[in-house]
Amino acid sequence: MTSSSVLLLLFPLLLTFPPVAALHVVITGGTGPLGQAVSHVLSNPPQSHKITVLTRNSFLASTPSRVSSDFGWIGKSFLSSHPNVFLRDWDGGDLLDIVGKDWIGWQEDTLSNADVVINLVGGLTVQRSMATERIIRGLSEVGNPRTMVVSVSPTDEDLRTKLRKDRVALCEKMVQANCPNGVCLRFGEEKKEFQRACEEIVRLVDSL
């Protein structure tokens, strides 16, 4: 699904939600299609929230065209047309795969004043659980543990293998045990589920 098709699909959402006070929304895994769709809706009027997308390499994520499939990419064009969306390097829970030069201090820069953290980290490897742990520990370290944390994962049917199911279940248990305002969502891979996921995430943010 291309960025343009995502925006066309979700354009009606911009007319659906009433104005709310601007919030600071932090998104991990936000360079993917769902992250871009959520950023598009939340950063535009009537919401006009500040969106910080945590990425392992903000330079590669913001180039005019994608230069590496190993790192997330949101693109210069998207950022230019969404002035309320910002990128910030973070370690992603994987210190062996960091090439962004400025990831140190991401917790203080982003989590200390975050109203919502949306975890869309899509990898089904151990990095998913490491990233979840980094978010939870980071919120505690900066004294902001009551921030709403929204964890979004595939359904068990789409996960298929026991290893993947157990890994996602572990992440959800961490959120439920450590985040008083934690919400765990599951969605399928179908196109209609993509739009439903975006709508539900936006509604949760607008509930604050």
List, for residues 24-48, the tens digit of each pLDDT value. 999 999 999 999 999 999 999 999 9
27, 47, 48, 102, 117 from 23: Cα distances, Å:
13, 8, 8, 24, 11
- At 125 the pLDDT is 79
Order the strands of the 182-187 sheet from edge to edge: 85-89, 50-55, 24-28, 116-119, 148-154, 182-187
pTM of the model: 0.88
pLDDT value for 127:
83
Q: Which CATH class is domain 3-206?
A: alpha beta
Q: Phi, psi at residue 98, to the nearest 5°?
A: -100, 125
Query: Which two tokens mark 37?
Result: 């769709």
pLDDT reported for residue 12: 54
pLDDT, tens only, 82-119: 999 999 999 886 655 555 557 789 999 999 999 999 99
List, in sequence order, every beta strand (DSSP E) within the chain: 24-28, 50-55, 85-89, 116-119, 148-154, 182-187
Nearest to 111 by CA among 81, 83, 90, 85: 90
pLDDT of residue 69: 87
pLDDT of 104 = 85
